[in-house]
Chain A
Amino acid sequence: MKMERILFGDNQFFAVNHISDEKSMAQSIRFKEDAAIIKTLDHAMEAGIQTFMCTTHDRIANICDVIRQQPEKYKDFKIYPCMPYAHKYANAVTELGIMGTIKQYVPGNFFGSLFKGGVAFLSKDFLSIMELLIDAEMKMFKGINTPVIFLQNVVTDLLLGLGMKDILVAFHDYVKKKYNAEAGFITMNMPALLNMLEEGGVKNPIICASINKVGFRMSGGKELYEETLRTRQFRAIAMQVLAGGAVSPKEAIEYVCGLPNIESILFGASSRTNINDTVSLIHKYDQVYTTTP
């Protein structure tokens, strides 16, 4: 199944602004009420976008409720969940330690017996812990179409650095088996990740990476990224195309639309004008590059 050309992101809703703390604060005030998020999603839908790629943030659960309540309006709407919402776990580990965090977030009584006897963990259980965590994060999307499920870059890239290929592959396999969904991987190290996934036998993976004209967060370098796009088989989603504001929208979109093998472009914006402008730019340059091969 092909992904849509344009995907709508959620950073602007949760004060994840890579550039300015002041802007983050303004966003967090602007999107304090869920209705403001829904309204912005409406603008995106009016611009023809039907896919919302979002973190498994607590507040997304409320958005999911709204979507379920209006099946007609959202009949073609898809969510691509991105998990985990890492800050939740990072803060929990600081506060409760690793054991405490697992106790808090892994559902049910899975560990009760293991903890009681003071018995050490069995290695084979790590993948079950991962599966239970995925299930916990997926709960809020029940009844909503989620054809691609992503692993967030902090986790993808951590596993990459640690050489934990098997866990990346296990994520891929479980998401397919349990949710009949494609696995996606968000990363700041696209070429290296692709190598590892291929070594693990994952074919034609969906990889969402920072791809922009100035080489921002493109580890390994812009040239290597361009070559990887040209010569390797995978389904690329370009994110951070504006490089945090370092490139003008026009230049940014022109660059990305001109690259080979980019299936989708992910962007986020708060205002209707910015949404419409970005969408038109993508359509404009897509036309330029498809008519002049």
Chain B
Amino acid sequence: MVKVGLIGAGKMGISHLAILGAHPDAEVVGVCDTSKMVIEALEKYSPFPCFTDYKKMLQQSKPDAVVVAVPTKYHASMVKELLQMGIHVFVEKPFCLRPEEGVELIQLAKSRNLVNQVGYHNKFVGTFEEVKRLLKAGAIGDIYHFMGQAYGPVVIKPKQDTWRSNPEEGGGCLMDYASHVIDLINYLLSPVQSVQSSSLKSIFSKQVDDAVYAMMSLQNGVSGILSVNWSDETHRKMTTSVSINGTKGKIVSDANELKVYFKDAACPAGYSRGWNVKYVTDLTAPVDYYLRGEEYSAQMDHFIKAIQGKVPNEVNSFESAAKTDNAIALIRKAQQ
């Protein structure tokens, strides 16, 4: 049994908590949130020990591992404290507000040999995993262009007042929403090296950006476009997609459907010349407990297994998430 604690039982945290609660190898030894209402509800109806001060939770519950799902501005300091205490850490995305903060944390986790993972769940989505596999095999030849997109209905009218509307706390579409797409590009193709131009637009928000458009180049020399808008209500929920052009074909994928075009008959097993369509249902391994997508259960399972030493701590390490933080900073800097 891995003894796990949770800090931050908000929208994301509560979902992690349910997944941990149902995990056969995890024991939830403590839940902490500063919101009295949330803690009172959990105290009354859930079996988990509850706290409003995370330091107290760490002292009393002595977790082996902690899941951090508080607003982004607290990530760096909390994670540092946890690592110093020798605790394995799963922290929500984005990793840190400033890239500098991440450097120290990566070192700390490494030197103390602690499992470290960040919540970029797209890497556990079957379609994107298949894209990675195809690219690794060089299936569509030399890549010359990509387009990463995400759209959804987060801020669709002017009135709002949460940490997401505050630029100092990790609010804004770039930090909160586009980070998923950037991270996916980093992972599938290569880390972002430079940003030629970018535009951050406020549509309904007063202080933060609601849409991000950028032209960027990756370390492997490929260039492409990022287009993300969280004020787009034509999508019922967040839709993330990538489209990748190569000399031998093209890949278009979102979290549900993968479409691959091959110019000629020399293509991987299971594919043929022309368009091929695969669905996430065929590409996804079942999970023991399902809440809102296999990927959320799968990423938590990966974290637990990494602590148990059953899988290497490779996917979504602090190091990979720090590259995304870095790209976010580059995009901000390149604004016109």
Contacts and interface: CB of A to CB of B under 8 A. Distances in A.
* Chain B interface size range: 35 or more
Given A19-B279, A95-B154, A192-B22, A157 B162 contact: no
B15 A158 contact: yes
B14 A96 contact: no
Nearest to A245: B279
Contacts of B254: 21
Nearest to A93: B11
A15 B236 contact: yes
A98 B289 contact: no
Contact of B290 (A94, A164, A219, A245): A219
Contacts of B18: 157-158, 160-162
B50 to A, nearest CB: 11
Interface in A175-208: 188-189, 192
A192 B21 contact: no
B160 A95 contact: yes
A120 B22 contact: no
A14 B159 CA distance: 26
| Chain A, interface SS category | helix
A220 B288 contact: yes
Given A162-B21, A166-B45, A157 B290 contact: yes
Given A95-B155, A120-B40, A160-B18, A219 B287 contact: yes
Contacts of A98: 10, 35, 37-38
Nearest to B176: A94
Contacts of A218: 286
A219 B290 CA distance: 6
B232 to A, nearest CB: 12
Interface in B1-23: 10-11, 14-15, 17-22
A152 B268 CA distance: 40
A246 B256 CA distance: 13
A94 B164 contact: yes
Nearest to A170: B45
9 contacts: A15-B236, A18-B281, A20-B257, A24-B236, A98-B37, A161-B289, A162-B46, A188-B290, A244-B279
Closest 3 pairs between A and B when the two form their complex, measured CB to CB: A161-B18, A188-B290, A123-B44
